[in-house]
Amino acid sequence: MLDMTIIRQQPERVQAIADRKGIPVSLERILVLDQLKRTLQQQTEELRRERNVRSEQMAVRKRTGEHHPEGWEAFEKERAEIRALGAKLAKLEEEWNAVGAELDSLLLLVPNLVSPDTPDGKSDADNVEVKRVGEPQAQSFPLRDHVELGETLGLLDLPRGVKVAGSRNYYLTGIGAQLHRAVQQLAIDLLLRRGFTLLDVPLLVKPEAMASTGFFPLGEDQVYRIQGEGTCLVGTSEASLVAYYGGEIVSVEEPIRLTAATACFRSEVGSAGRDVRGLYRVHQFAKVEQVVLCEADEEAGERCLAEITENAEELLRLLELPYRVVAVCIGDMSQKTYKQFDIETWMPSRLAYGETHSASLLGDFQARRAGIRYRDAKGELKYCFTLNNTAVATPRILIPLLENHQNEDGSVTIPRALRPYLNGLDRIVPVRNDIPV
C-alpha cells in the first residue's frame, strides 16, 4: 500500500504509473474521498464531544438531584436535543464508514512508485537487456523440444496429465520426477549456504494473507479458492513467507532471509491459447522462493536486490545454462513492484529466451499492507522493505535443462552440479528404441 502522504503530494505521478500498468483507479476520486473522510471525521469528533459533554451534565444533575435551572420542560428539551445529537452522530458515522470503505477499496488498487532507473514501456517487448551470460550452442543435428525429449527419455507424460486433471497438467515420471526434485534441492542448498532460513509453509492461506501481501484484489483471478473453507491456494510461497511476520515488529539489523520449496497453483486466466504445448505454462508447479526483509533504506534495498538476483544467476551457472538479465519496464511490472529484474534462460525450441526468474524490490509497499515494522537507530517504528525472487521454478526450468544439454543420440547430459543429487548419474538415455538419430 502506498503512503497516503505520497498520494496527496504526487497524485499525477501515481496516476501516470497506474495508467502505464493498466490499473483502473482514479486518483482524483481517491483525493475527493480522502478530503471528505477527513471532514466527516472532524464533524463526527466535534459532535461526539458535544453530545458527551451535555450527557455528562445531565448525568450529574440526575445524581445530585439538581433540577434544570429553567424547569422540567427545559430538562426534557435538553434530553430530546441530546437524543437528536445521538441520531445525527449515528448518521454521520454511517456516512464516514461508507466513505472510508470506498476509499480503502480504491487504495488497494493504487500501484507502488517505480524506481527512477526503471525503463518506460508497455509490455515485455520494452524490457531492456542489461546482461548476458553464455551463448546458445549451435548444433549439427536437428534439435528436439522438451516434450519429445521428455517422452523418449521416459520422464514426462502429458496425455495422462490431461486425462486426470485437464489441460495444462502433466506427470513427471521416473528420472523426470528425480530431476524435478534435484534442481529444487540444489537451489535450497545454495540458499542455505548464503544465510537463508528454510521454512515449510502453508499452501492454503486466508484471503487476508493474500491481500496483505499484495496479491489481492488485482490478482484474484489467478487464484484457486477452496469453496466453503474461505482459503486460497498460493501461487507462490512469497505470500506465506511475508505473511509469517504480518502485524509484527521485527529486527532487521541483519536482513531477514527466508526461503521455502513448495508446490504452487495458478489458474492462468488470460493465457488461453498461449504456451499450450509442454511445460512452460501449467496450473501446478514448484518453486524455491527467496524473500528478504530489510531496513527501509534505498541502498540496503539495492544491495539485497543484487544479492537475490545473483543467487538465481548462480543457480543457472551451476546448471550450465545460457541466460540474460533484463530490466523490466513499468508496463510489465505488477502493482506492488518498485524495481524488477527478470532472468530469461535460452530455450532452443522457442528460439528465444524464456522467463525463468523474477527478482523484485517492493520498498515498503508490501510491509505497509502486512503491518511489518522495525525500530530504526532512533527507536522510531518504520515499515520494512521487502524483496522476493525465484531461486528456481520447475518444471519450467526443465525446458532449457533438457533442450540445451541434449545430444545427437537422443540422450541428455546432466550438469555436474546436479549429479550428486541423482546418485552420480551423468546422462539420461532414451527408454524407447524408435528415436531417429
Q: Domain total for the chain?
A: 2
pLDDT of residue 138: 87
Residue 437 lies in a domain: no
- Shared domain check, 213 and 134: yes
Distance separating alpha carbons of residues 329 and 22, to the nearest angstrom? 13
For the cut 70, the answer to whether the pLDDT of residue 298 exceeds it is: yes
pLDDT of residue 56: 84
pLDDT digits over 358-415, tens only? 999 999 999 999 999 999 999 999 999 999 999 999 999 999 999 999 999 999 999 9
pLDDT digits over 14-39, tens only? 999 999 999 999 999 999 999 999 99
**Which domain, by its residues, includes 44?**
4-107
Alpha-carbon 374 to chain mean position: 21
The CATH number of whichever domain residue 338 belongs to comes to: 3.30.930.10
Residue 228 lies in a domain: yes
pLDDT level of residue 270 (50, 70, 90 thresholds): low
Distance separating alpha carbons of residues 386 and 304, to the nearest angstrom? 9
Residue at a domain's end among 40, 75, 107: 107
- Shared domain check, 211 and 91: no
What mean pLDDT comes out for the span 143-152? 96
Distance separating alpha carbons of residues 157 and 410, to the nearest angstrom? 17
For the cut 70, the answer to whether the pLDDT of residue 275 exceeds it is: yes
- Shared domain check, 321 and 421: yes
- Shared domain check, 184 and 321: yes
Mean pLDDT, the chain, whole residue set: 94
- Shared domain check, 102 and 16: yes
- Shared domain check, 140 and 75: no
Which residue numbers are catalytic?
266, 281, 355, 358, 396
- Shared domain check, 168 and 58: no
- Shared domain check, 136 and 97: no
pLDDT of residue 70: 57
- Shared domain check, 72 and 207: no
CB crowding 239-256: b at 16 or more within 10 Å, else e: bbbbbbbeeeeeebeebb
pLDDT of residue 79: 78
pLDDT level of residue 73 (50, 70, 90 thresholds): low
pLDDT digits over 118-138, tens only? 999 999 999 999 999 999 988
What's the per-residue H, E or C state across 384-436? CEEEEEEEEEECCCHHHHHHHCECCCCCEECCHHHHHHHCCCCEECCCCCCCC
The CATH number of whichever domain residue 70 belongs to comes to: 1.10.287.40
Residue 169 lies in a domain: yes
pTM of the model: 0.92
pLDDT digits over 309-320, tens only? 999 999 999 999
Give every CB contact of residue 375 below 8 A, 6+ residues apart in sequence: 249, 381, 382
**Do 139 and 59 form a contact (C-beta atoms < 8 A)?**
no
Residue 436 lies in a domain: no
- Shared domain check, 210 and 66: no
pLDDT digits over 205-223, tens only? 999 999 999 999 999 999 9
- Shared domain check, 133 and 101: no
Alpha-carbon 276 to chain mean position: 24
Give every CB contact of residue 101 below 8 A, 6+ residues apart in sequence: none
pLDDT of residue 71: 55
- Shared domain check, 34 and 144: no
Residue 112 lies in a domain: no
